[in-house]
């Protein structure tokens, strides 16, 4: 399974943008880039995913490098509720055995009031 | 919609006891998953079921068995619990394929003494 590398922790001020990086240099052409987050004492929550193009939804934006070897999750205005562990995960296509999610250790985001 | 539900929420077992963790989803998803999360770690996949009638091992299947009872329900059984199985267990479901997100249950916190 292709691996991802994320910083262990990051800090941000409330109402400022946050850019969470992820490196995935061994990504294959059929791997989707997924982001999940886990708030304290809760199950993981889907945030966003993409394949090649940048993606936006109500929670965040995902910027994918042209060579797809890295991506960045962007929270446009961090709130205290965004304090969580953020996981960047590669998920293979249907016929690929790696379509299941493999979680790494993620980035712990601290948001300062 | 309840999403993904898990029972029980908490459980304490003695070494050697057995128990079954229950999971159900009401989103008509084909794929279901069982993960465990040890303190300070990311999630690790125990077993998954790509579709009704099929199950496959994940990263850490030893000591566990699963049953995909029907499309809605996917249970995880510990035949002879060990202290090393003390963890938080999460069930998840999704449509099958890399483009689809997983939805997670609230988790079962299991302690084996």
Ordered per-residue pLDDT tens for chain A, 113 residues: 568 999 999 999 999 999 999 999 989 888 899 999 999 889 999 999 999 999 999 999 999 999 999 999 999 999 999 999 999 998 887 655 556 677 888 999 999 99
End-to-end distance of chain A based on CA atoms, in angstroms?
A: 38
For B21-41, how does the pLDDT look when each residue is reduced to its tens digit (9 = 90+)? Answer: 999 999 999 999 999 999 888
Of B45, B97, B104, the CB nearest to A44: B104
A71-86 exposure pattern, b = at least 16 Cβ within 10 A, e = fewer:
bbbebeebeeebbbbb
A16 in contact with chain B, both atoms CB, cutoff 8 A? no
A44:B102 CB<8 A = yes
Minimum CA–CA partner of A51 in chain B: B99
Report the alpha-carbon distance of residue B41 to residue B37 in Å, rounded: 6
A30:B98 CB<8 A = yes
For B44-63, how does the pLDDT look when each residue is reduced to its tens digit (9 = 90+)? Answer: 999 999 888 899 998 899 99
B42:A103 CB<8 A = yes
CB distance A31 to A90 below 8 Å: yes
Using a CB-CB distance cutoff of 8 angstroms, which residues of chain B are in contact with residue A9? none
């Amino acid at each position: 399974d292709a691996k991802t590398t994320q910083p262990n922790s990051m800090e941000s001020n409330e109402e400022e943008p946050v850019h969470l990086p992820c490196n995935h240099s061994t990504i294959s052409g059929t791997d989707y880039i997924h982001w999940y987050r886990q708030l304290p004492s809760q199950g993981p929550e889907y945030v966003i995913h993409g394949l090649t193009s940048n993606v936006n939804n109500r929670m965040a934006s995902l910027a994918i490098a042209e060579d797809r070897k890295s991506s960045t999750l962007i929270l446009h205005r961090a709130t205290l509720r965004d304090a969580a562990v953020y996981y960047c995960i590669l998920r293979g296509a249907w016929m690929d055995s790696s379509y299941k999610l493999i979680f790494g250790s993620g980035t712990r985001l601290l948001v300062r009031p | 919609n309840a999403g993904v539900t898990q029972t029980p929420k908490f459980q304490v077992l003695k070494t050697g006891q057995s128990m079954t963790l229950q999971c159900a989803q009401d989103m008509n998803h084909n794929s279901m998953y069982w993960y465990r999360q040890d303190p300070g770690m990311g999630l690790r996949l125990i077993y998954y079921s790509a579709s009704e009638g099929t199950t496959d091992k994940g990263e850490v299947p030893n000591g566990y068995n699963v049953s995909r009872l029907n499309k809605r329900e996917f249970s995880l059984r510990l035949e002879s619990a060990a202290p090393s199985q003390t963890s938080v267990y999460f069930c998840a479901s999704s449509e099958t394929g890399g483009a689809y997100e997983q939805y997670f249950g609230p988790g079962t916190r299991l302690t084996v003494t």
